[in-house]
Amino acid sequence: MSTLKAHYRMDAPARETRIDRSMNSVIGKPQDRYEGPLKVTGQAAYAYETARNRKDALYGYFVLSTRGKARIIRLDSRAAEAMPGVRHVVRDARAVRGSADPSDNKPALIEDEVVHYGQAVTLVVADSFEVARAAARLVQVDYEPLDGDYDPKELTDTAYDPGDGAVPSTVTKGDFGAGFAAAEVTFDAIYTTPSQSHAAMEPHAAVAEWDGEDLILDGCYQLISTNVGQLAAALGMPKERITIRAPYIGGGFGGKLGIGAEAVFAALAARETGRPVKIALTRQQVFQMTSRRGETQQRIRLGATRDGRITAIGHETITSNCVGDQFFEPAGISTMFLYSGENRRITHRRTDANILMASSMRAPGEAVGMLALENAMDEMAEKLKIDPIEFRRRNEPERDPQDDLPFSSRRLVDCMDEGARRFGWERRPKRPGDLRDGEWLIGYGMAAASRKNMLQPASVRLTLLAEKGARIETDMTDIGTGTYTILNQIAADMLGLAPEDIEVVLGDSRLPQGPGSGGSWGASSSGSAVYTACEQAITALAKRMGADRSELGLANGNVIAGNRQVTLASLLKGEDLVIEATFEPGKAFKSTHQASYGAHFCEVGVNEVTGETRVRRLLTVAAAGRILNEKTARSQCFGGQIFGIGTALTEELVVDARNGLIVNHDLAEYHVPVNADVPQLEVVFLPELDPYASPLASKGIGELAISGVGAAITNAIYNACGVRVRDYPMTLDKVLAGLPAGHGPR
């Protein structure tokens, strides 16, 4: 076996690549999912299922805090431990303070204080899930109540500058105050968005097993390369002794970026019992103890000339997080570059509350920030008596308006124009109430979409197999987004192999490190590492062929140069060829401002009697560089559109302001769109290559698809019935309250 190393730092734009000259044309095609047959036949083992054939596996069930802020003064687990089938109650000796009595043990890892309702206190381990659950109810916890803050709306006066996070906390240019005051036409409004739950189909789960001093953990985590270090720090052990495996993940949306209590407690329980321990959170526990999207209060101020040129733009956000957590929702992230305006102020402030931790959730920042911004743009367009698309067109910047960088590519106006043509925007009602279908008032709305492009370092191992085909290995994950399929397509296209002859192995921390799934960076980043490996393989094959690599062609398992054609197997001569490849962004990535763009168009019907809203049509037109797989990309956009429907109309975590309990902590009461809520969706991709974004000329698309959707829906509601609601979600009671006299219940 021969092993080669490859490293590619992208310091120049990828003007033309081997992909553009490929003889195979696999990339971009709507190829079926690589792992699809395993999933539909039940053979893809998710985290909780990995120990299903292990008869010695134990089951864990959490005891959660029933106070929002309190000090634990006693934890008595004797009744639980006496129950037949109970094997262990997790304790952490470091948390015991001044008592040798086991009934006085404090909870694992959290010392003696809880800071939010539903925080993990301890874990009961038993022979079955049912016994563990029943025993957990016997654990008695005594609390000393402490004063807590449970209502972020009451905390806005305490908001402070948290320092820089995913974006700088304060971004300015020019003199916003003076520019806004001097503007001929101004708009000033506050929009609010609620907390939301990630609500992934697969609940958080972990199975832990020890092999001597080494820990093997099967989990459902998105960023394996960093998750290992997080778990090592929590357990106080070297990360070299930890293996995390997550080959299949049933959705993440950011809720599985970091390790959860289930990983730490499963590891502790497995070490202390000497047996594998498996934990799966119930749906209620997922809602109450993992993480949420933070609620926001967003003040949007726009100043413009009478002919619709923005001269001042302000976007000020207040959001909360649990005490001690650093993340804040970066709602102004797209406002920084989406529209012109020489005077700018975008700020983020946060408050500390004793409620569940806030974290990244699909399109953190844009998903809620563009609800406010794109509603405000619609309201300002109306005030100026300018068509919403035309208003946006007049404020299209030639360069990044904040940092004055050139755009790597930007087809926002093209997306709006193509969407308007396909949707029939010219038929949009001129005034609310002009178009009806019986008791349904019909309206059209639109919104722009943007999502900043991100590119990360990534490594892979590519093996050209002596017998036949190839294998790709990386700890990169697939959360249902298509990573398996896309990496397979890139290698097949570049190496001239049939997709079915390429094996893809993902989600094991022992493999070369990928960036993980998050930020819409996965496909381009890990795909660029596969590209790097394939380029090195081509160089090696050209050398063996005695040919210039630029003349080399690969197709149908053959290597072609000049008038010679040989099989790949004959060049390998019975020996595998291994390439360890690493890709990293370079000067080309940093020299431009990069983002994916799109436009959403929506038709709604609003019932003038009940206030109910029905989405009748929804079109997304997107430009996101090279589309690597048309089928998986469209699927991602469908998911984003449906996510946006929920954001606009139904999704809201209701927090009990007395103690921080999430009241609607399951899918019966937390309302996500179901089939009856979703119309036939349409997605159109504009052809685009962005040579600065990655060697593949591709950009992220998964999170673009949600950005702005909710605003398109609520803008359409206004066009239908004349009701503006700036407090999301736009439920029927809010619509009814705003309907003009003569409408509503009769």
Q: Are 92 and 108 in contact (CB under 8 A)?
A: yes
- Of 486, 479, 470, the closest CA to residue 33 belongs to 486
* Strand duo 214-219 + 205-211: pairing: antiparallel
Burial (CB count <10 Å: 0-12, 13-18, 19+), residue 168? middle
Reading the block at residue 610, the tokens are 């009940």
* Active-site residue flag, 703: yes
Q: Helix, strand, coil shares of the chain as percentages rounded to 5? A: 30, 25, 45
Q: Which residues contact 596 (CB under 8 A, 6 or more apart)?
A: 449, 450, 451, 453, 520, 622, 623, 624, 625, 699, 700, 701, 704
> At 348, which amino acid appears?
H
**Integer angstrom CA distances of residue 136 from 84, 114, 265, 273:** 13, 18, 14, 17
> At 473, which amino acid appears?
E
* Strand duo 577-585 + 2-10: pairing: parallel
CA distance 96 to 119: 18
**Alpha helices, DSSP H, located in 236-350:** 261-273, 283-289
Q: Are 704 and 520 in contact (CB under 8 A)?
A: yes
CB-side neighbour CA atoms (13 Å) of 147: 0
φ, ψ for residue 197, nearest 5 deg: -105, 145
Catalytic residue among 209, 295, 651, 703: 703
Q: Are 582 and 474 in contact (CB under 8 A)?
A: no
Count of helix runs (H) and strand runs (E) in the chain: 17, 30
CA distance 713 to 708: 9
> At 284, which amino acid appears?
Q
Active-site residue set? 703
